[in-house]
Amino acid sequence: MRALVVTPTRELCAQVEESIRTYGKYIQLKSITVYGGVGINPQIDALRRGVDILVATPGRLLDHVQQKTVDLRQVEILVLDEADRMLDMGFIHDIRKILALLPAKRQNLLFSATFPDEIRKLASAFMHQPVTIEVARRNTPAELVSQVSHPVDGTRKRELLAHLVKTNDWKQVLVFCRTKHGANRLAQQLSRDGVNADAIHGNKSQNARERVLEQFKEGKVRVLVATDIAARGLDIEALPHVVNYDLPHVAEDYVHRIGRTGRAGTEGEAVSFVSAEERPLMAAIERLINRKVESRVIEGFHPGSAAPRSAQQQPARNNAQRHHRDAQPRSNAQPHGNGQRRGGQGRSNGQGRGNGQGRGNGQPQRERQHRPDHSPAVSAREDQIREARARMAAEGEKLPPRNPRAQARSSRQQQWDPRRSEPREPAYAQQHKPDPSRPAPVIQRKRSFAGMVGALLGRKRETEE
């Protein structure tokens, strides 16, 4: 093996190996890929047949090293693609293990569109007199990419995305989310809105990721929702639109995201949705790229605009009910059941309990004990559930039915029995009194040393004789 290329993602690994085969079509060099998510046995067979250039991800490469199916002692050139990501805290431990298996004398090549000073210092620790070659200014996006930001409330981002896709007739859009769950959720919501969308992230199998990506390139999928795994490695020819649905926490990732468009001399557009909470992130991005991103408010989606009326009815109704319940005095609060107080006259007069009179004939009413408040934890949990359901209704999602068993359990927890002012102790905590009908256990005295010797010799004790 003459060269080892290490990449952070599977998609980038396959892309690099494809470029090696394209550029080395007339050169007798053999290259293969090694990454996770697929079977390891075909990779072992390919390694046994010999290879000149190995393109791998760190995890699967170390798996082959552990199984002794690859030998790195003859590597002459080490290439770290997307070096800033390879040397951060996510991969640095694996990279150090790989460096320990390589020969001390070799050539190191590091490639990246962004290279922070911290990563430069870390790279200098294993490089000897490195030379820096820059083809453009540091942390600079492509000049052919037009950048614009749309201020919008966080709860209306999905509506704005669907509005832009439909009104502008976007045919191919790559959308970046911050989490895998958020990517799946957004893709499902867009599909319900009539926009053909799918998601790609690390939780999907490699075959599913490749299938979705191929459908997106062919135009069968209109919107591809992805996490930052797609920010490094996706090479889509003439991709016209990139949308930052969630701004990245690391400003350098913004450069990689919008770098998916405007490639190979073509123009592209990068759109960012900025909520009030994400303004500091946009300010950090503008400091990094050393330019101001144009801010453009979309009519009907300006920050602070009210959500659709149908989405506000449910939370408003819940809030009104909660305020009405809180406004009632505690003394008039009624226990669960028929809504009437336990009491009443004797049953002989034909009246049931609950007419508000005493138990006897004109006897004074029994003083009602104070009912304790509900548990704060239960109330807080109910408020969280209510707010989550209101948020889902505002976003147009189908509300799941409340679990009747959970409601019954919650009502039992909140129900208070006036006949028992103190909580009962569990059965295992109650001390059982001795039963006088059962004979007391006989405690035998311990034998003395002489008694033990006598027992061994077969002698009987005096009491037994």
Domains along the sequence of the chain with CATH? 3-123 (3.40.50.300), 145-295 (3.40.50.300)
When the pLDDT of each residue in the chain is averaged and rounded to a whole number, the result is: 75
pLDDT in tens, 319-348: 545 544 554 444 444 444 444 444 444 444
Output the DSSP codes for 326-393: HHS-GGG---SSSSS-S--S-GGGTPPS-SSS-SSSSPPPPPPPPPPPPPHHHHHHHHHHHHHHHHHH
Classify residue 437 by burial, with Cβ atoms within 10 Å: 0-12, 13-18, 19+. Answer: exposed
Q: How many angstroms separate the CA atoms of 321 and 329, rounded? A: 15
- Please give the pLDDT value at position 331: 42
Q: Is 259 helix (H, G, I), strand (E, B) or coil?
A: coil
**How many other CB atoms are found less than 10 A from the CB of residue 376?**
8
- Please give the pLDDT value at position 403: 61
Q: How many angstroms separate the CA atoms of 166 and 163, rounded? A: 5
Torsion of CA 17, 231, 147, 303, to 10 degrees: 160
| pTM score | 0.56
pLDDT in tens, 125-143: 778 888 888 776 666 677 7
Element (DSSP H or E) covering residue 13? helix 10-23
pLDDT in tens, 73-127: 999 999 998 887 777 757 888 888 999 999 988 999 988 877 777 777 777 777 8
pLDDT above 70 for 287: yes
How do the residues of the chain divide into helix, strand and coil, expressed in percent and rounded to 5? 40, 10, 50
Show the tokens assigned to 414. 């909140």
Which among 275, 265, 183 is positioned nearest to 223, based on CA atoms?
183
Element (DSSP H or E) covering residue 80? strand 77-81
Alpha helix segments (H runs only) across 244-308: 251-258, 279-289
